[in-house]
A and B are shown apart, each in its own frame.
Chain A
Amino acid sequence: AQSVTQLGSHVSVSEGALVLLRCNYSSSVPPYLFWYVQYPNQGLQLLLKYTSAATLVKGINGFEAEFKKSETSFHLTKPSAHMSDAAEYFCAVTRPTGNKLIFGAGTRLAVHP
């Protein structure tokens, strides 16, 4: 069985500060991992994905994530937060031949001036 744990349901950072959103996964097979972002009153938008190629994955809007097998982690980072980054972020896992995404509970990111 697969599962995802996102540590911290709410994270608050200052504009310009480092953003770090944590995601740990459990999977009995090599996983595919995703980060999605949900802006208020909108659907989910893919930020980035790991599909067994490079372990450091770069996404849109300056975000990146690193797959660490030994730590079963896929944390999302951005060097400098912007006010427009305020949103809810979801980590998700699937098997390479899987037909559904298993989502974490989400982390709401607040960015203050």
Chain B
Amino acid sequence: EAQVTQNPRYLITVTGKKLTVTCSQNMNHEYMSWYRQDPGLGLRQIYYSMNVEVTDKGDVPEGYKVSRKEKRNFPLILESPSPNQTSLYFCASSLTSGGTVYTQYFGPGTRLTVL
């Protein structure tokens, strides 16, 4: 089944404790992206990747890191989480062609709470 998977689905942590949220897709998509969802704000892009080893900042990148060493995986790293990073996080992937990103497919989400 074609899908985007995220782990963990739920995570409670404390301020400053490094964590990684994994994202994997089995559709051979070049493009992957991370969003955070906050009430009243919709989804905002954190980072994206157009292909392996190619990443760039989205609208709200502060406090986050990403890497794209393999096509299928795009982990989101919080080196020193803070309470304002408590949010619902979504990973998405898409085919691309000539710089055009097609329909994005979303993972199930990771609910992160930072105490």
What residues of chain A have their CB less than 8 Å away from a CB belonging to chain B? 4, 9, 34, 36, 42-46, 49, 90, 92, 94, 96-101, 103-106
Contact = CB atoms under 8 A, between A and B. Distances in A.
Contacts of A90: 42-43
Interface of B: 4, 31, 33, 35, 40-45, 48, 50, 56, 58-59, 90, 92, 98-101, 103-109
| Secondary structure call for the B interface | strand
Contacts of A42: 108-109
B101 A99 contact: yes
Contact of A100 (B42, B48, B103, B106): B48
B108 A98 contact: no
Contacts of B40: 9, 105
Given A90-B42, A103-B43, A43 B103 contact: no
B48 A101 contact: no
A28 B33 CA distance: 23
A44 B42 contact: no
With most chain A CB atoms within 10 A of its CB, the pick from B43, B56, B101 is B43
A106 B33 CA distance: 20
A101 B48 CA distance: 11
Contacts of A9: 40
A43 B45 contact: no
A110 B50 CA distance: 37
